[in-house]
Amino acid sequence: MSDGGGALAARVAEAAAVLRRGGVIAYPTETFYGLGALAADASAVERLVAVKGRPDGKPLPLLGATIGQVEAVAELTPLARRLAAACWPGPLTLVVPARPGLHPAIGGDSGGGATVGVRLTSSPVAAALAAAAGGALVATSANLAGQPPAASAAELDPTLVARLDLVLDAGPAPGGLPSTVVAVTGEALVLLRAGAIPFAAVEAAGRVG
């Protein structure tokens, strides 16, 4: 995440400070720009939901800079750990049991209790931001509900931008396919959304031996 003069690092530090104050921002991930708030800040999560206009009952995915940040919000089962070792950092979102205390907008329910979708980001900017902010971040796409995702700050909807506390412009995000979303229940995998990592590769990574 070097840009010579350190301007990007300064912008990341500024964005992290906004997040720690309960702000809602847009920032680049390993796929598209995302809307961010600290997952542990319930008020900020509620603001983010209102900013996006996200329907009730549609969970918010999270990303972390380290396994420690991931494990602060999610319980990684043995199968999830195998997938994490093979596919993280990268665009694979694992839906696993959630730690207690997360805002209801973040978690879903698999029928066996609260779940959360989480990944270890491979974006240097997103990782630096989560590290500086001090915790896992919401990583839903930076668009109004129902609109296409944005791969650059310039593509962000002006109506959305007006609702945000800050846009961390770090140049274009890679774009392409969104993260693959897979539910992990015991030793079973269920594809919830096809994406950047083929499901067959995820299945292969989860096999023992």
CB atoms within 10 A of CB 71: 15
Instruction: Say what the pLDDT of residue 11 is.
Output: 96
Residue with tokens 């301007």: 7
- The pLDDT tens digits for 22-62 are 999 999 999 999 999 999 999 999 999 999 988 767 889 99
Instruction: Say what the pLDDT of residue 110 is.
Output: 54
Residue ranges and CATH numbers for the domains of the chain are: 7-206 (3.90.870.10)
Are 126 and 34 in contact by the 8 Å Cβ rule? The answer is yes
| pLDDT grade for 91, boundaries at 50, 70 and 90 | very high
CB atoms within 10 A of CB 63: 30
| pLDDT grade for 83, boundaries at 50, 70 and 90 | very high
Percentage of residues in the chain having pLDDT higher than 70: 94
Residue of 195, 164, 202, 166 whose CA lies nearest to 178: 195
- The pLDDT tens digits for 92-106 are 999 999 999 899 899
Name the β-bridge partners of 95: 117, 183
Instruction: Say what the pLDDT of residue 162 is.
Output: 97
In this model, does residue 2 exceed pLDDT 80? no
In this model, does residue 4 exceed pLDDT 90? no
Percentage of residues in the chain having pLDDT higher than 90: 85
Report the C-alpha gap between 1 and 162 in whole angstroms.
27
In this model, does residue 109 exceed pLDDT 80? no
Instruction: Say what the pLDDT of residue 108 is.
Output: 66
CB atoms within 10 A of CB 185: 17
Instruction: Say what the pLDDT of residue 208 is.
Output: 76
